[in-house]
Amino acid sequence: MSAQDLPAPAVRIAEVVATELRRTGRAGLVLASAPGPGSDLLARWLAPVARLRIPDKGAVADVAGALTAAGAPGATVEALAWRSVAEAMSEAEELLVLGSTNKTQILLDPGPLPARVLPLGDVWASWIRTHAGRAALPAVLTHVAPDQVEAAERALRDYLEGGVDPARAFGALGALGPPVRRALDASEHRRRGLLVPKLEEWTVGIDPAR
């Protein structure tokens, strides 16, 4: 796929990743997230920049087993294993580590982030679902209908970009509002120091937290 064939968000994402590759002097890219719809998009979108390397699943499984044996919390083991193997590949082969975490996940999933560089960090999960058929979701939205995911993202956009009062923004979600607000508050501490290509009015890691 050539740069001319990429959708508009992908062009900006590829530009930012290419700039970071030059700045860091890295020789290529490695994914620190489990394969999925986000990583599939990134592999295509970043093809004009560099090939995206995927860690070996067997190596990830070995690290996950070691983490489990060492007592790591079960909910974080897989994410930590992918990140660990990717970081080892980065050191050995001078690769830039990327994560495929989307904006909805960054805002609502309190778990560990896979990398500092998150090319999909300003792309909502519902956009990815529309263009890839499915999308990774934070736990608070895993078991809700697609229209509720979109409603939650709309509430987040109203609050973060539009300055809408949180009681009004999240109150529109009904019973889903309180857990979404709690998830947002719980994730605030991990949004600092990220490199996210800016695509929208309010971007994680660039614009002030609310």
The CA distance from 35 to 53, in Å, is: 11
Contact yes or no for 169/152 (Cβ under 8 A) = no
Structure tokens given for 44: 């295509």
- How distant, in Å, are the alpha carbons of 16, 139, 196 from that of 53? 18, 27, 20
Asked, for residue 169, whether it belongs to a domain, the answer is: no
112's tokens: 């560990």
Any domain includes 91: yes
Is residue 79 included in any domain, yes or no? yes
Exposed/middle/buried for residue 92 (C-beta within 10 Å: 0-12, 13-18, 19+):
exposed
Q: How many angstroms separate the CA atoms of 117 and 115, rounded?
A: 5
The total of structural domains in the chain comes to 1
Domain membership flag for residue 116: yes
**C-beta atoms surrounding 101 within 10 Å:** 27
Q: Do the domain assignments include residue 181?
A: no
- Crossing angle (nearest 10°) for helices 125-132 and 146-160: 140
pLDDT at 2: 45
In-domain check, residue 27:
yes
Domain membership flag for residue 205:
no
Q: Which residues of 126-156 are buried (b: 16+ CB within 10 A; e: fewer)?
A: bbbbeeeeebbbbebbeeeeeeebbbbbbbb
CATH number at residue 57: 3.40.50.620
pLDDT of residue 121: 95
Contacts of 105 (CB under 8 A, 6+ apart): 125, 136, 137, 138
Q: Which ranges of 70-200 would DSSP assign to H, the alpha helix?
A: 74-93, 103-108, 125-132, 146-160, 166-171, 177-187
Query: Which tokens is 64 given?
Result: 């996950």
CB 82 within 8 A of CB 35: no
Is position 104 within any domain?
yes
Distance between CA 14 and CA 189 in Å, rounded?
A: 27
From first to last of its 210 residues, what are the pLDDT tens digits of the chain? 444 555 778 999 999 999 999 999 999 999 999 989 999 999 999 988 998 999 999 999 999 999 999 998 887 899 999 999 999 999 999 999 999 999 999 999 988 899 999 999 999 999 999 989 999 999 999 999 999 999 999 999 999 988 899 999 999 999 999 999 999 998 876 677 899 999 998 888 788 766
Residue ranges making up the domain that contains 80: 3-137
